[in-house]
Amino acid sequence: MLPHNNCLQVGQPAPSFTATAVYDQEFKLIRLSDYLGKYVVLFFYPLDFTFVCPTEITSFSDLYDQFAAINTEVLGVSVDSEYAHLAWLQTQRDDGGLGDLNYPLISDLTKNISQSYNVLTVEGTALRGLFIIDTKGIVQHLIVNNLDFGRNVSETLRTLKAIQYVQSHPDEVCPANWQPGDPTMLADPVKSKEYFKSI
């Protein structure tokens, strides 16, 4: 249950923010606007030093090079302070920590970012919200999980590739389960039949 009624939808500009993050063991000021011209995977998680969260956070780091290779930055956000982020990063994975990550973890101690993306719970933590933002700062995909189950990072990568494909091929659309190299269909009531005949 959310404390307010925010109407953020796909196709709308991603809410801007400036916040402190931890990256490469240092504090860094992050502005979403600095990433215009790149795709951004912005994901929220409930709290540092919890259980499901490190499995997601490290999975994004492990696949980071694949995101970076297609002009994409990954940003993680929680309502913890940058000091808590740093302590968690300095804890090794086999002790429930994160170790070094390939992308920044953002502190949303004021909870303003979580609220603007409509993932803030009444208890004051963030749901597992994930947003893919395109090069112009427009939200192209969003998904929100409840707290007890994690997201599929490989599916995020697949969805991102589909978004990039249709943006660079505006006459085509991607069917269910599309992977790069698979057939697409033309967004036309007659020409789309060619796809259905081929499957």
Residue whose token pair is 């505006």: 170
The β-bridge partners of 132 are 41, 141
Rounded CA-CA distance 133/39 in Å is 6
Element (H, E) at 3: none
Active site annotation includes 7: no
The full DSSP string for 26-73 is EEEEEEGGGGTTSEEEEEE-S-TT-SHHHHHHHHHHHTHHHHHTTTEE
Rounded CA-CA distance 10/176 in Å is 18
Q: Where are the alpha helices (DSSP H) in the chain?
A: 52-62, 64-68, 82-89, 112-116, 153-168, 193-198
One-letter amino acid identity for 99? Answer: G
Q: Which of 53, 79, 153, 160 is catalytic?
A: 53
**Catalytic (active-site) positions:** 53
